[in-house]
């Protein structure tokens, strides 16, 4: 967990606690090849160190268990089967490379990649399955998005209107449910009424609302908070090697100093404030959160350690 992850988690937790709501911790571990041994335990420990607790989660259970997506595949398969049966999803033999070669529009601003050209949309399912088999791969499943324009009011950004990018993937060719499908199914099953997350996921919201409507699910409220950037303006990511929260802890940083820096970056506290997470709850409101991406200098936090 780096400071960007920690800041978003803190803001989501504050939104829930200020509203007197449940806070649910879900482990989104669908991509098993990228799951590192011990990562979940370290993440949970980092959150507790910051002063963040949760009412439901993989370690405490709850009425919507299990709370690891890797253990919820049957629910995703059921949702996809329903969408296929109702004509809202279809098999697709195209790989990412195929879509990129056929694309007539630039890449989207998220991980969905270029606009899907609809190659398999009108083909009989057996034709698609045979084509995929001939290419030595299984078929994926895509959402039949149509042309509905999705508008919503974001808890931080205000009114947002966006058109669905394309027929996005619901299940990958390797049989694993895609992020877009899994979070929609899980949010509904877990009774999530509000989602607070980074604004790098803003472009996914229209897709998720359309998918939720197709499944007849309640649509949660969304609030997208600005990202944390590394000094110099780079987005925090593996390639920029941001300082991990665990390293700050190991080198003597106090949780109150880290929470204070995160709160100050969001406009919720003065710079250099030391504060416990719980002390921020009573004065928290989403409309107080700063609207611009911010830089947090982890090295400055280390330099301030007595």
Supply the DSSP symbol for 279. G
Residues 6+ apart with CB under 8 A from 269: 260, 263, 275, 280
Degrees, nearest 5: CA angle 162-164-166: 150
Which is catalytic among the residues 32, 34, 238, 239? 238
Instruction: Decide: 293 and 228 in contact? Cβ < 8 Å.
Output: yes
How far apart CA 149 and CA 164 sit, in angstroms, is 7
The CA distances from residue 220 to 8, 30, 103, 195, in Å, are 18, 22, 32, 7
Q: What is the largest CA-CA distance in the chain?
A: 68
Residues 6+ apart with CB under 8 A from 124: none
Strand partners, 61: 57
Strand partners, 228: 294
> CB burial class (10 A; 0-12, 13-18, 19+) of residue 68?
middle
Supply the DSSP symbol for 64. T
Residues 6+ apart with CB under 8 A from 236: 2, 3, 4, 227, 228, 229, 230, 242
Q: Strand, helix or coil at 204?
A: helix
The reply to whether 173 belongs to the active site is: no
How far apart CA 242 and CA 299 sit, in angstroms, is 10
List residues with catalytic annotation.
238
């Amino acid at each position: 967990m780096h400071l960007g992850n920690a800041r978003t988690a803190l803001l989501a937790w504050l939104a829930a606690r200020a509203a007197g709501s449940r806070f649910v911790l879900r482990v989104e571990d669908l991509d098993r090849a990228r799951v590192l041994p011990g990562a979940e335990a370290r993440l949970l420990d980092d959150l507790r160190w910051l002063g963040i607790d949760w009412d439901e989660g993989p370690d405490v259970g709850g009425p919507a268990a299990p709370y690891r997506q890797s253990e919820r595949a049957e629910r995703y398969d059921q949702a996809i089967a329903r969408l296929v049966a109702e004509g809202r999803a279809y098999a697709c033999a195209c790989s990412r490379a195929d879509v990129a070669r056929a694309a007539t529009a630039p890449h989207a601003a998220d991980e969905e990649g270029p606009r899907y050209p609809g190659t398999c949309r009108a083909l009989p399912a057996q034709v698609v399955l045979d084509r995929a088999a001939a290419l030595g791969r299984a078929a994926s499943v895509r959402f039949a998005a149509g042309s509905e324009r999705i508008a919503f009011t974001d808890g931080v950004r205000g009114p947002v209107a966006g058109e669905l990018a394309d027929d996005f993937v619901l299940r990958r060719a390797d049989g694993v449910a895609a992020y877009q499908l899994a979070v929609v199914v899980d949010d509904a099953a877990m009774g999530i009424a509000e989602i607070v997350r980074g604004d790098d996921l803003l472009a996914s919201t229209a897709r998720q609302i359309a998918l939720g409507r197709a499944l007849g699910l309640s649509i949660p409220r969304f609030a997208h908070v600005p990202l944390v950037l590394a000094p110099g303006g780079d987005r925090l990511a593996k390639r920029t090697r941001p300082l991990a929260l665990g390293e700050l802890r190991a080198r003597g940083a106090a949780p109150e100093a880290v929470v204070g820096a995160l709160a100050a970056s969001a406009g919720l506290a003065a710079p250099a404030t030391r504060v416990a997470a719980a002390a921020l709850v009573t004065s928290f409101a989403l409309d107080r959160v700063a609207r611009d991406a911010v830089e947090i200098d982890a090295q400055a936090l280390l330099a301030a350690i007595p």
